[in-house]
Structure 1
Amino acid sequence: MLFQEIDQLITYDERQRMVPSDRDRLTALVDSARAQDPTDYTTLRALGIGLLVLGEYADAIDHLNRALDLADTSGRRIAASINLADAYRYSGDAAASETLCRAMLTLARKEVPEMLCFSLQHLGKALTELDRRQEAREVLQEALALRMAEGDPELIARSQAGLRLLDT
């Protein structure tokens, strides 16, 4: 439930980074969840994402690492790791983000193909921030092709937006 509540308070800026759509509500939600000192994967991951969106990168990294320690499936490992990669990227360490995204892309190709486009999309974002535009374009085009095959308009739009960033 916390994950859905946080997700509803997130939008994207011109760089396709997550930002709060209502900072006050997100802050209140994050503060309330943090006060409960969660110890389960789902809450730690949701809280980590909320902290990331609020710009509290060190706390986001801590919570996402704690969630990652509790990941009991490859899918959960990929999800928490990609969120952790975003925390590194937002905090200025795009190289660490790339490394983590590449590892999760390998895992997705091997074990969790339904998370392949998620891994590709975030690797593309890391490569974009590293100004490796041609690599980013190839990765984002692969993500877009997968998303078009799946037919999710919101995810298709995000991949298209990532590709448009490369043309600016």
Structure 2
Amino acid sequence: MLFQEINQLITYDERQRMVPGDRDRLTTLVNSARAQDPADYTTTRALGVGLLLLGEHGDAIDHLNRALDLADTSGRRIAASINLADAYRYSGDMATSETLCREMVDLARKEVPEMVSFALQHLGRTLVDLGRRQEAREVLHEALALRMAKGDPELIASSQAALRLLDL
């Protein structure tokens, strides 16, 4: 429930970074979840993403690491790790973000093929932020090809938007 509510509040800035569409509503949701001190994967991860959106990177990293500890499947591990990579990227720790993304691309290729494009997309965005444009382009094109094969218009648009950043 909390994750769906937070996802509905996500919008993207000019760099294709997640930002809150309604900061006040998000703050209310995050404060309510914090007060409950969640101990389950889904709520802990959602709280971490909410904190990330609010720019509270240190707390986001703490909660996403806890979610990672609670992850009971490879898919959950990938999802929490990619969110954690974003928290590191947004806080300026590009090396950690890249390492996590690369590890999750490898894990997805081995165990959760349907999540490869998700991991590649976030690796590509990290590479964009690192200024490694050609490598980013290759990674994002692979993500786009996988997403086109799935036929999901929203994911395709996200990959196309990330590729457009390279042309700016």
- TM-score of the aligned structures, taking structure 2 as reference length: 0.99
How high is the sequence identity, in percent, across the aligned residues?
A: 83
Structure 2 counterpart of 1:99, which letter?
T
Q: Which residue of 2 aligns with 1:137?
A: 137
Matched residue type, 2:82: I
The aligned counterpart of 2:76 is: 76
SS of the residue 1:39 aligns to: coil
Runs (5+) with no aligned partner, structure 1: none
Runs of 4+ in 1 over 2 A off after TM superposition: none
CA distance in 2, matches of 1:95, 1:83: 15
Aligned partners of 1:111 and 1:37: how far apart in 2? 31
Give the counterpart letter for 1:34 in structure 2.
Answer: R
| Matching of residue 156 in structure 1 with residue 152 in structure 2 | no
Return the offset for 1:72. Answer: 0.6
Is residue 18 of structure 1 aligned with residue 15 of structure 2? no
State the superposition RMSD in angstroms: 0.4
- The separation in 2 between residues aligned to 1:154 and 1:12, in whole angstroms, is 13
Contact 1:95 1:126 in 2 (8 A): no
| Paired letter, 2:138 | E
Pairwise CA distance, 1:95? 1.3
The alignment covers a number of residue pairs equal to 168
CA deviations 1:122-167 (Å, max 9, x no partner) are 0000000000000000000000000011111111001000000001
Please give the residue correspondences for 1:1-168 in structure 2 after superposition, counting only pairs within 5 Å: 1-168=1-168
Q: Distance in 1 between matches of 2:148 and 2:131?
A: 25
